[in-house]
Amino acid sequence: MNDSFAPGQDGTSAGAGDPAAGDGTRAVRAGLPEPVKYEPTLPGPVFAAHFHLPGDPTGGYAYGRDENPTWTLLERAVGELEAPGRDGVETLVFASGMAAISAVLFSQLRAGDAVVLPGDGYQVLPLVRAQLEAYGIEVRTAPTAGDAQLDVLDGARLLWIESPSNPGLDVCDIRRLADAAHARGALVAVDNTLATPLGQRPLELGADFAVASGTKQLTGHGDVLLGYVAGTDAGAMGAVRRWRKIVGAIPGPMEAWLAHRSIATLQLRVERQSATALAVAEALRGRSEVTGLRYPGLPDDPSHAVAARQMRRFGCVVSFTLPSRERADRFLDALRLVDDATSFGGVRSTAERRGRWGGDAVPEGFVRLSVGAEDPVDLVADVLRALDESAG
């Protein structure tokens, strides 16, 4: 798959791309180049708009909108996490998750094609839908839960899956949907933002594209916007690459380097955050003012059976509904360890009343809570105290 450093040669540990390596080993070594004496383990960002290029171009780095060595290392790292040990997977990084999503949709679809989107996915998808329709593409939607997208697949060119869905946390059977789509000649893309590649590997479940916002838990510090597409079909990925070149939705070298540096701690963060998310969900379950509690890791969650089959970790987002908008606002205000902010996946917990955006079909008191890396006892205590204080 790549020529990254393979420390297994001395028999002491596995290489990062080795499918037998553990997630922690893979994350800390992902994308590292061969060691070179007196060079850093992870080379610093390469700031270059153009590279020396005498004579005829023969491939390699020429212009900064097409290729950059800092992206190359990050793309290897993401590829090793999304598809460990697998050959023929290409990964491309983008300026944001939306840049990556748009690159797949707009490079694969033509006027007259039909695409199936989730009806309950990321809140920018309705804007994307309007743009696709303006280009003469038919857009169908169906909910994530119950594999309902199966019912609208006939004649579609592309199926777009978001599982778990954001913010409702419904889950669909990716393998089942991918098989059904392929049987009808459709390509399959999965938005893997919420799960991260350590929670679920869509390419192994049959998807043609794993697409994600790296802005969330992949980088995890709330300070970088990033996106990526990993794909198995060389022709389709060629079109995605061409789209990136045409649109120029490229990450800066500094962002790419920060992302790569952050991936070294991905296993630690995902492990800790998903364990704490379960603890928070269990604490919320005992509260009478909480309804509609969702966390795919809860054994009695409607998503759990399917999630447990295809996910290895259940993510850091817990969602629930408080009795009113006012109660939710008082709760968010009373939290001390949880910032009232949008987005999710960072080391510092955040929460928001999702209805303030107006895009998602959620009750006024609906809260999306992103669990960070605080000590679980501290966070659970803060959430329960804020619930008590917001009651009056």
Ligand X SMILES: *Cc1c(COP(=O)(O)O)cnc(C)c1O
Nearest to 313 by CA among 295, 301, 340: 295
- Identity of the residue, 79 or 315, whose beta carbon is nearer to ligand X in the bound complex: 315
Closest approach, Cβ 191 to ligand X, in A, equals: 5
Rounded Cα distance between 295 and 320, Å, is 9
- Identity of the residue, 215 or 350, whose beta carbon is nearer to ligand X in the bound complex: 215
Closest approach, Cβ 135 to ligand X, in A, equals: 20
Q: Which two tokens stand for residue 29?
A: 């070594």
CB-nearest residue to ligand X: 97
Rounded Cα distance between 380 and 392, Å, is 20
Rounded Cα distance between 265 and 372, Å, is 13
- Identity of the residue, 213 or 303, whose beta carbon is nearer to ligand X in the bound complex: 213
Cβ of 186: how many Cβ atoms within 10 Å?
22
Closest approach, Cβ 213 to ligand X, in A, equals: 3
The count of residues in the chain is 392
- Identity of the residue, 164 or 376, whose beta carbon is nearer to ligand X in the bound complex: 164
Closest approach, Cβ 385 to ligand X, in A, equals: 28
Rounded Cα distance between 268 and 45, Å, is 24
Cβ of 163: how many Cβ atoms within 10 Å?
31
Closest approach, Cβ 27 to ligand X, in A, equals: 20
Burial of residue 84, with CB atoms counted within 10 A of its CB: 0-12 exposed, 13-18 middle, 19 or more buried: buried
| Residue ranges in contact with ligand X by CB under 6 A | 96-98, 101, 122, 162, 166, 191, 193-194, 213, 215-216, 225, 227
Closest approach, Cβ 2 to ligand X, in A, equals: 25
Cβ of 188: how many Cβ atoms within 10 Å?
23
Closest approach, Cβ 112 to ligand X, in A, equals: 26
DSSP 223-257: ----EEEEES-HHHHHHHHHHHHHH-----HHHHH
Order of strands, sheet of 366-370, starting from the edge strand that comes earlier in the sequence: 291-294, 317-321, 366-370, 350-353, 339-340
Would you give the distance in Å from CA 25 to the centre of its chain?
Answer: 20
Closest approach, Cβ 227 to ligand X, in A, equals: 5
Backbone angles phi, psi at 212, to 5 degrees: -160, 160
Cβ of 178: how many Cβ atoms within 10 Å?
23
- Identity of the residue, 13 or 123, whose beta carbon is nearer to ligand X in the bound complex: 123
- Identity of the residue, 99 or 280, whose beta carbon is nearer to ligand X in the bound complex: 99
- Identity of the residue, 98 or 283, whose beta carbon is nearer to ligand X in the bound complex: 98
- Identity of the residue, 81 or 386, whose beta carbon is nearer to ligand X in the bound complex: 81
Rounded Cα distance between 117 and 313, Å, is 24
- Identity of the residue, 196 or 390, whose beta carbon is nearer to ligand X in the bound complex: 196
Closest approach, Cβ 172 to ligand X, in A, equals: 14
